[in-house]
Structure 1
Amino acid sequence: MLNVGTRGSDVTRTQKALAKAGFNPGAADGIYGKQTQQAVKAFQKKHGLTQDGIVGNNTGRALFNSRNQDLWDGKPDGVKPGGNVPGNFPVNGSNRQKLDFAANLARQMGLTITSTTGGQHTPGSYHYKGRAIDVAGSPSKMAAFYDRLAGSKPTELFYDPRGGIKHGNNIGAIGGHRDHVHVAY
């Protein structure tokens, strides 16, 4: 939990996320002061959270899962394929670290990893290179998983009901990915 008087790198990270989300916390100096508290309260108000100025679980989750909300695709159903970068995603990590993060996220969301390397995939595909996984579960969980990873700049991300991303470009559904989500880094 972060509140007035807290200092350190978590405060700096929070201040930068608030600024990126359009709220002015003042300088990203690692000191949780009154201006940071006011920015947190404004963020909480906009997101329907308790306006206490404290960054706890709910506020932190909302803040760090909403950093890239500028990538709406304009679809009337509210699908957000370019959306959120999940919290603690290794943005500057290796492809292996990013894929491990995706696998752990899938497990935390109650999804099952159905394929890693080899299997019934095209020879030379990212599966054979050890850079892809497929995950399955309920349609709503698969959609949430897709949405969470869409903003993480995957090499490939396919789930037919949501669409497809290849090398950062929305390419639409490609077929064959209705019962699972495919992600590669």
Structure 2
Amino acid sequence: MLKVGSRGSDVTRLQQTLARAGYNPGGTDGIFGANTKAAVVRYQRAHGLAADGIVGNNTGSKLFKTRNDDFWDGKPDGVGGTPGSFPVNGSNRQKLDYATNLARQMGLRITSTTGGKHAPGSYHYKGRAIDVAGSPSKMAEYYRRLAGTRPTELFYDPQGGIKNGRPIGAIGGHRDHVHIAY
């Protein structure tokens, strides 16, 4: 069982797994603190588990087995089907495929890939970005799940913005969709 106050390599693995699954634990320092608990609670809510922030048998088996069953095999996951682990060492294309599959799994619509009108030099024109739309609560969850994946760009005005892995706040023009680029 892992909970606030737990420390060590098991917590580090938990933090890495949460981050790869799209739930930002605030770092991988091996200390189960408030940020890790918040990430666990988000994961539990998204997967119909008791949202108590404690990694016991139910949460642990679902997180480590279902989401990341081949986490340690060294191969990028989440490409082509239902997202598994985020492909941390994968190409930008593999990361964007993960984001696309996650959006579809969550019932969100892909509203723009390379088409549409975007700012000059946009990552859309380079095939590295998508826009996704749906209910505000689903878009907020999608934003939160991808925030820990160190995207090149992630914008959703009600939640804020991330550029090159760093929070920059809302930039405007992204209230009705989430923009993600790797």
Contact in 1 for aligned 2:109/2:132 (Cα 8 Å): yes
- Which residue number corresponds to residue 61 of structure 2? 56
Distance 2:11 2:171 in 1: 39
- For the residue of structure 1 that corresponds to 2:162, the secondary structure is strand
Say which SS state the counterpart of residue 128 (structure 1) adopts. helix
Query: Is residue 161 from structure 1 mapped to residue 167 from structure 2 by the alignment?
Result: no
TM-score when scaled to structure 1? 0.60
SS in 2 for 1:56: helix
- In the alignment, structure 1 segments of 5+ residues that lack a partner are 1-12, 24-43, 65-85
- What percent identity do the matched residue pairs reach? 67
Go from structure 1 to structure 2 and tell me whether the alpha carbon gap of 1:148 and 1:53 turns closer, same or farther (over 3 Å shift).
closer
RMSD: 3.2
The structure carrying a bigger helix percent of its residues is 2
What is the TM-score with the length of structure 2 in the denominator?
A: 0.61
Among candidates 10, 13, 16, match of residue 17 of structure 1: 13
Structure with the larger RCO, 1 or 2 (CA within 8 Å, 6+ apart): 2
Equivalent residues, number:
129
Of the candidates 131, 139, 151, which is equivalent to residue 136 of structure 2? 139
Runs of 4+ displaced beyond 3 Å: 13-16, 18-23, 51-55
Q: Which has the larger radius of gyration?
A: 1
- Give the Cα–Cα distance (whole angstroms) in 1 for the partners of residues 165 and 149 of structure 2: 9
Give yes or no for the alignment of 1:118 onto 2:115. Answer: yes
1-structure distance, mates of 2:59, 2:129: 38
The question of 1:47 aligning with 2:43 is answered no
Task: Report the counterpart of residue 90 of structure 2 in structure 1.
Answer: 93
Residue aligned with 2:125, SS: coil
